[in-house]
Chains A and B, each alone.
Chain A
Amino acid sequence: MNKMETMTGARALMVAMEKEGVKEVFGLPGGANLPMYDEFARCNIRHILVRHEQSAAHMADGFGRVSRKPGVCFATSGPGATNILTGIATAQADSSPMIAVTGQVPVAMIGKDAFQESDIIGMANPAVKYAFQPRSPDEIPMVVRKGFYIAETGRPGPVLIDIPKDVQQKEASMIFPDEFKIRGYHPWTNPDMANVERAIEMLLSAERPIILAGGGTIISSAFAELQSIAELLMIPVVTTFKGKGAFPENHPLSLGPIGMHGHAEANKMMTEADCVLAIGTRFSDRSVGTFEAFEKRLKIIHMDVDPAEIGKNQTTSVAVVGDVRASLRIMVKMLMQKAIKRTEENTWIKHVKETKEYWKENLKLHPGEMGAAKILRKLREVLPHESIVTTEVGQHQMWASLFYDVIQPGTFFSSTGLGTMGWGFPAAIGAKVARPDVPVVDIAGDGSFSMTENSLATAVLEDIPVIVFLLNNFTLGMVAQWQRTFYNRRMIGVDQGKCPDYVKLAESYGAQGIRAQSMDELDKAIKTALNSDVATVIDIPIDPEEDVLPFVAPGTSLADMILPS
């Protein structure tokens, strides 16, 4: 039994977070969380000030995805809390571990429509993995302990802790528990060995097997296991967009992401396969197109930590529930024991390699010097392999998926589920806080970057030198592409003008702004940014008419890919 200590709720929160290993908090103070803020003066947790609470949540999210430990964000009650809601929903959609701590009006004022009161517990309910509202200060140590445990175990997700101001202020005898039990929470199931065995048999008897690696592969760091299985059985690997970089994209068996803007060779091979080993994926509509067309003629082996994902979007032949790394390890072990290893290239693998080769040669790209493919390949060429890349949401994001190869697994992160514009830059800041030793680049578009560009203040003042690699077409490019494709070129609400000047914008925050209008300038700009001690925005003007292709239109199947003409 730990000894009791008397302290305020706010103090207990900080002590409990220190015990969880928290070193940084991203946030913004206000009336209802001031008692917690006052405690920063007396603890070893660094506070990183944001200019909008949504960015605090994205920073915590970026931190969480990279470190695989919950990132923490603070916001005050009312609008502070509603501002982080987008960030919470983003973390939930992408299974990212996060702790959001909001201030709340005092208990006696709850329900009185008090100043800056919002029912954030009610509003956030469908967007969190769990939410706590301690009504008495002595609940706080247990709430923090359970909150971190829930956020980071099983399928990770955001946990909200909403603390009324009087609960922060009041003193109580605190016990900081080591052990606890959550009766209704069973984050992990042991993988069923018999089903792993059936999965192996199914893969071995398939003529055209394929592996589809989803985001769960990255969350559980199952990189080595995935590579072993692909190599032992000589099975080509496609990924979802969220799974991009689960498998080295320069590997001979790698075909890249499938989906709406998947690689042509990945979509082609996915539609030709007769059996898929799907790892840690929810078969999102953006990845698989129409559910019915995807599962036709395809045997699906589904590995996932979340039993509710089995059969949700696709009918599975074999399901293995459990941490996917544990499941894959069992599979590798069984293959080793049975001495199963394929060395000869069969007709399927030959066909896969020919298809890959074909699209490498024949995918038509933008003819200009500053086409998206050339720009992103240049970035790849200059960036060290261990660099971490985040993206904003839009055309640039899909170009990154197509043309920026992830070599070191687990170094690519994007808002893939909720598709939150403005995510990439603050997430890059969070990522850099988690990994200050590697370069962190936000591959951005001007529309998305505009939404959280004021995080430049955080990057500069808090000395977090990330790089914004801005493909600037002065347009809400993806919407413009849909208007060109589906709305007969009626361009409504997409022109951003040449406003602002991103070089001057960066400079006004004390960051570095560089404009790159040729490949030479771009090469120099990336190198300058990598050597810079301050955040850098590289503004790269591009053709506003360039489309992202291939393109699988919504509501169609992967076989109906629109290709560049």
Chain B
Amino acid sequence: MWAILTLLVENKPGILFKVTHLFRSRNFNIDSISVGVTDNPEYSRMTITTYGDEKQVEQIVKQLDKMIDVLEVKHLDEHKTVYRELSIFKIKLSNANDSMEVNKLANAYGGKIHDVRKDSIMVELTATPDQIRAFEELAKPFGIIEVARTGVAALQRSGA
């Protein structure tokens, strides 16, 4: 299963290294990881998405929880969570219609257009990883030159 984990960690050098090292040495997978400081500069929040069966995810959570620099770790229920990822696509434009077609596609996914050139266009899309993958599939026929993705950021909904 795909799991979203949220971690509150000490905002100190070397913590990202320790967390990622734990995944490596325990033979777990990181699907995506994003880190940023919280409103309290002493803490950072990490959002990690991972794959594993229920037992493995439980073990990942326990091993992370054991880390002294990790103050809190939660396995988020994706149905009770707001989670988004930022992605930027550079897409090839081969003929006159392509620009309009890509524009339409981007609009359908709530994307923004940047840096329109004669032979390429950039689309910024903030969405769930599934939506980004779907967009990617539809953009493929135009030719994707480059993609950059940030990994998921997630917070549990209040009252959930």
Q: Is the CB of B68 within 8 A of A307?
A: no
List the A side residues contacting B62 at CB < 8 Å.
307-308, 310, 312
A129 to B10, CA, bound (A): 16
**Partner pick for A185 among B17, B22, B25, B68, CB 8 A cutoff:** B68
A129 to B70, CA, bound (A): 13
One of A120-128, A433-441, A454-462, A539-547 at the interface? A120-128
Report if A182 contacts B (CB, 8 A).
yes
Interface residues of A (CB under 8 A from B): 121-122, 125-126, 129-130, 150, 182-185, 306-308, 310-312
Interface set, chain B 89-106, CB cutoff 8 A to A: none
- Given known contacts A125-B21, A126-B21, A183-B10, is B58 in contact with A307 (CB within 8 Å)? no
A122 to B14, CA, bound (A): 9
A308 to B17, CA, bound (A): 20
Q: Is the CB of A183 within 8 A of B71?
A: yes
Q: Is the CB of A311 within 8 A of B58?
A: yes
Q: What is the minimal beta-carbon distance from B103 to any residue of chain A, in angstroms?
A: 47
A312 to B69, CA, bound (A): 22
Interface residues of B (CB under 8 A from A): 9-10, 14, 17-18, 21-22, 25, 55, 58-59, 62-63, 65-71
**Partner pick for B69 among A122, A184, A306, CB 8 A cutoff:** A184
List the A side residues contacting B68 at CB < 8 Å.
129-130, 150, 182, 184-185
Q: Is the CB of A311 within 8 A of B55?
A: yes
List the A side residues contacting B66 at CB < 8 Å.
306-308
List the A side residues contacting B14 at CB < 8 Å.
121
Q: What is the minimal beta-carbon distance from B55 to any residue of chain A, in angstroms?
A: 7
A-B contact pairs, 11 of them (CB 8 A): A121-B14, A126-B21, A126-B22, A184-B9, A184-B10, A184-B68, A184-B70, A307-B62, A308-B59, A308-B62, A308-B65
List the A side residues contacting B65 at CB < 8 Å.
307-308
List the B side residues contacting A310 at CB < 8 Å.
62
A311 to B14, CA, bound (A): 29
Q: Is the CB of A184 within 8 A of B21?
A: no
Q: What is the minimal beta-carbon distance from B10 to any residue of chain A, in angstroms?
A: 7
Q: Is the CB of B59 within 8 A of A312?
A: yes
Q: Which of the listed residues A125, A130, A184, A306 has the most CB atoms from chain B within 10 Å of its own CB?
A: A184
Q: What is the minimal beta-carbon distance from A156 to any residue of chain B, in angstroms?
A: 14
Across the two chains, which residue of chain B brings its CB closest to A133?
B14
A122 to B10, CA, bound (A): 18
Q: Is the CB of B59 within 8 A of A122?
A: no
List the A side residues contacting B21 at CB < 8 Å.
125-126
Q: What is the minimal beta-carbon distance from A174 to any residue of chain B, in angstroms?
A: 22
Nearest 8 interchain pairs by C-beta: A308-B62, A126-B25, A184-B71, A185-B68, A184-B68, A308-B66, A308-B63, A130-B68
A185 to B70, CA, bound (A): 8
Across the two chains, which residue of chain A brings its CB closest to B10?
A184
A308 to B66, CA, bound (A): 7
List the B side residues contacting A182 at CB < 8 Å.
68
Q: Is the CB of A125 within 8 A of B10?
A: no
Q: What is the minimal beta-carbon distance from A138 to any residue of chain B, in angstroms?
A: 17
A182 to B21, CA, bound (A): 22
Q: What is the minimal beta-carbon distance from B120 to any residue of chain A, in angstroms?
A: 39
18 further contact pairs, Cβ within 8 A, besides A126-B21, A308-B65: A125-B18, A126-B22, A130-B68, A150-B68, A183-B10, A183-B71, A184-B9, A184-B68, A184-B69, A184-B71, A185-B68, A307-B62, A307-B65, A308-B59, A308-B66, A311-B55, A311-B58, A312-B59
Across the two chains, which residue of chain A brings its CB closest to B24?
A126
List the A side residues contacting B70 at CB < 8 Å.
184
List the B side residues contacting A183 at CB < 8 Å.
10, 71
List the B side residues contacting A312 at CB < 8 Å.
59, 62
Q: What is the minimal beta-carbon distance from B111 to any residue of chain A, in angstroms?
A: 39
A16 to B14, CA, bound (A): 25
